[in-house]
Amino acid sequence: MLDEAYGRRICKGRNVQPYPFLGLKDKLPRLPVPSLQETAKKYLNYLQPLLTPEELRHTAGLVEEFVQGDGPNLQEELIRLDKESPSSWLEGWWDTGYLEFRVPCPINVNPFFVLRNDPARPSQVHNFLILSLKYFFL
């Protein structure tokens, strides 16, 4: 319910100020659909500090297999979704995956966030912490 006199949204007994930047939403450029090759390259780059050289080579082979196999069809599906979505190809998935699920996001929602205790590779945790701090202080 919107209280017109004050321009505030009344939500379960609380006054919530509207977000002024939402009025600019239509003026923002659409989120681009990254190319399949660009995505594959970034994916391998992100994995580099977390994998051994042998694991990285194996993963690079799997990524190349994906790029040559199922990847192009899925990329076309993503482009189709982008054309059908009013603002972004990511919007529906983002809203469902991150905004509707009411649990701590990094552990429970992020499909790429997995930490396993690997006594053979204690440096994995070290690398993860260093990269997290670099990202935080960018």
Distances (CA, A) of 15 to 8, 79, 124: 6, 39, 46
Residue 138: helix, strand or coil by DSSP? coil
Instruction: Report which of residues 124 and 65 the model is more confident about.
Output: 65
Please state whether 56 falls in left (phi above 0), alpha (psi between -120 and 50) or beta. Answer: alpha
Distance set, CA 52 to CA 34, 38, 91 (Å) = 27, 22, 35
pLDDT bin (cut points 50, 70, 90) of residue 10 is very low
Domain ranges of the chain: 35-136
Q: Are 31 and 88 in contact (CB under 8 A)?
A: yes
The pTM score is: 0.57
- Tell the residue number behind the tokens 């701090």, with chain if given: 133
Position 5 scores a pLDDT of: 46
- Mean pLDDT calculated for residue range 45-49: 91
pLDDT top residue among 49 and 66 = 66
In contact, 66 and 74? CB cutoff 8 Å: no
Backbone angles phi, psi at 9, to 5 degrees: -90, 130
Selected residue with higher pLDDT from 117 and 62: 62
